[in-house]
Amino acid sequence: MMPDAFYVVPALLILALGVYTTVARDTFAATVGFIAYGLLLTVAWVQLQGVDIALTEAAIGGGLTGLLLVRASAKLRPTEGAARAERPGRPTRLLAAIMSGAVAAALALAVLALPDPAPTLAPEAIANIGPLGVGNPITAVLLAYRAMDTLLEAIVLLFVLIGVWSLAPDRAWGGRPGPRYNADPDGILAFIARVLPPIGIIVGVYIFWVGADAPGGKFQGATIIAAMWLLVMMAGLADAPPISRRLVRVLLVAGPVVFIAIGCAGVATAGAFLAYPDGWAKPLILVIEFALMPSLALTLGLIMAGAPERTEAP
């Protein structure tokens, strides 16, 4: 019975926090609950043997998404009172509960009726991993078997950044994102923002580098580096760059452009878009990873910084 409890306890805690996040009266409390929920999901991912996913969940699912929501809920606090009056009546809520319960029950039945033995692509993934020169099968999927997904994912992030920027008021277009933070230069935040980034950057680069053979990868590493940058910005030690700066824009597109160029070269050298010629897989994967990592860190950091709010002057 013991191993079951090992899974059941985190599973129930996750469910309880999911319910709390949904029914909590105060939106700010709900968003804080969501961060704890994201961290507990990380435990679930480890127990499901998905350490790569656990890292992504901790960094992006709980971390960045949580920060985004907490910040927004603090800003939107004045609207809370008006929103309570709009709460749907009891019959609507009851109906919603019945319908959602039905969807959950149908899914649960599907989970119990999953085929046994389960279908799996693991043998194919392992069978072709040799020539790629990477040891982590998930990295092989992300950068070889399904490299198109990863390319589109990087481009989705870029499009979201363009979307965020396009929400700037006209007067701030081309200016600096977010407010100028002014923390006490001798305070604890400024202290942490000086001490933590060197360590964080090393951790980020390490997670990026081991991604070839062990759990980790560019997205997780880039998120940690972006978080360090946000910390420095929020402590007022450095200001966000104006979005009209050419260097910023070149760095943002450099990663996807290299990825697309290597993809197009594959048409000539290996017969398909994003195919690698024999023996060149590992070096090309490394080039893509190295080009994408700074672009991703910058994109994630600027998405978090938000729409431009100030003119270019500091």
Partner 1 sequence: MNAATIFGLVASALVGVGLYGLVANPQPLRKILAFNVIGSGVFLLFGAIARRGAALGLGGDPVPQALLITGIVVAFSATALAVTVLLRLYEETGRTTLSSDAAPPPPRPEPPPQPDRIGA
Its sign, for the CA torsion 262, 268, 273, 275, is negative
We find the least distance from the C-beta atom of residue 35 to partner 1, in angstroms, to be 11
Structure tokens belonging to residue 68: 């985004």
Cβ-based nearer residue to partner 1, 15 or 267: 15
Residue closer to partner 1, measured from CB, 169 or 267 = 169
Our CB check for partner 1 shows the closer of 86 and 246 to be 86
DSSP state of 261: H
Comparison of 139 and 262: residue with beta carbon closer to partner 1: 139
- Pick between residue 83 and residue 261 the one whose CB is nearest to partner 1: 83
Closest approach of partner 1 to the CB of residue 54, in Å: 10
Q: In terms of CB distance, is 16 or 202 closer to partner 1?
A: 16
Decide whether 48 or 238 has the Cβ nearer to partner 1.
48
Angle at alpha carbon of residue 251, lines to 61 and 197, rounded to 5°:
55
The least distance separating partner 1 from the CB of residue 165, rounded to whole angstroms, comes to 9
Q: Which residue lies nearer to partner 1 by CB, 215 or 242? A: 215
Nearest to 299 by CA among 155, 174, 203: 155
Q: Which structure tokens are listed for 224?
A: 């940690």
Q: Nearer Cβ to partner 1, position 156 or 267?
A: 156
Instruction: Tell me the angle at which helices 147-165 and 281-305 cross, rounded to the nearest 10 degrees.
Output: 20
d(CA 97, CA 129): 47
Is 285 in contact with 278 (CB distance < 8 Å)? no
Q: Cβ atoms within 10 A of the Cβ of 99, count?
A: 10
Tell me which residue of 140, 183, 187 sits closest to 289, measured CA to CA.
140
Q: How far is the CB of 251 from partner 1 (least distance, A)?
A: 18
Amino acid at 84: R
- Smallest distance, partner 1 to C-beta of residue 64, A: 6
Minimum distance, C-beta of residue 47 to partner 1, in the bound complex (Å): 5
- Minimum distance from CB of 176 to partner 1 (Å)? 15
Residue closest to 139 by CA, chosen among 263, 45, 56: 56
Rg for the chain (alpha carbons), in Å? 23
Q: Shortest Cβ distance from residue 180 to partner 1 (Å)?
A: 9
Rounded distance between C-alpha atoms, residue 163 and residue 42, angstroms? 29
For residue 176, the SS3 value is strand
Q: Which amino acid is at 184?
A: D
Among positive and negative, which fits the CA dihedral 17, 108, 49, 132?
negative
> Please, what is the minimum distance in Å from the beta carbon of residue 282 to partner 1?
18
Find out whether 276 and 266 touch, Cβ atoms under 8 Å: yes
